[in-house]
């Protein structure tokens, strides 16, 4: 029994700790409004606060904030167990996608994270 406990302690202590860099960055700035996101380059990070006002089709929704609106792509797994209504103020995080497509550029924000603010 003692050998088993010792083995697990060695395994636990040898695992790396999860940490993040805390300091200055030269990465692209975050875009924080729908209108700024529309002008942002492909792959730019967006952190938007506002309302999801309608479902367009499949994973596409219209997101609206004080500056305007933009199409967002939210896969079902991102919603998780959240039930979001147009009355909820949400904070969404994602990146600009679709601007590289020459045939039919469909700029939208691909959402990775959503949180209900109120």
User: Which CATH number does the domain housing residue 37 bear?
Assistant: 2.40.50.200
Asked if the structure places residue 13 within a domain, the reply is no
- Look at the chain and report how many structural domains it folds into: 1
Give a yes or no: residue 109 inside a domain: yes
pTM: 0.72
**Mean pLDDT along residues 9-38:** 69
pLDDT in tens, 43-97: 889 999 999 999 999 999 999 999 999 999 999 999 999 999 999 999 999 999 8
Q: Does residue 39 form part of some domain?
A: yes
> What is the structure's pLDDT at 86?
97
Q: Is residue 32 part of a domain?
A: yes
Q: Is residue 58 part of a domain?
A: yes
Rounded Cα gap, residues 84 and 81, in angstroms: 10
Residue 20 lies in a domain: no
> What is the per-residue burial (b if ≥16 Cβ within 10 Å, else e) of 72-83?
bbbeeebeeeee
Q: Are 114 and 99 in contact (CB under 8 A)?
A: no
Cα angle 50, 32, 84 (rounded to 5 degrees) comes to 25
User: What is the residue range of 55's domain?
Assistant: 25-116
Residue 36, domain member (yes or no) = yes
In a domain, 68, yes or no: yes
């Amino acid at each position: 029994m003692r050998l088993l406990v010792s083995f697990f302690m060695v395994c636990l202590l040898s695992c790396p700790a999860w940490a993040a860099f805390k300091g200055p960055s030269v990465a692209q700035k975050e875009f924080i409004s729908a209108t700024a996101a529309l002008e942002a380059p492909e792959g730019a990070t967006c952190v938007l606060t506002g309302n999801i006002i309608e479902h367009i089709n499949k994973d596409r929704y219209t997101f609206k904030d004080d500056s305007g609106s933009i199409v967002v792509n939210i896969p079902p797994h991102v919603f998780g167990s959240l039930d979001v209504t147009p009355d909820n103020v949400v904070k969404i995080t994602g990146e600009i996608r679709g601007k590289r497509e020459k045939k039919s550029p469909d700029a939208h924000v691909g959402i990775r994270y959503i949180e209900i603010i109120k």
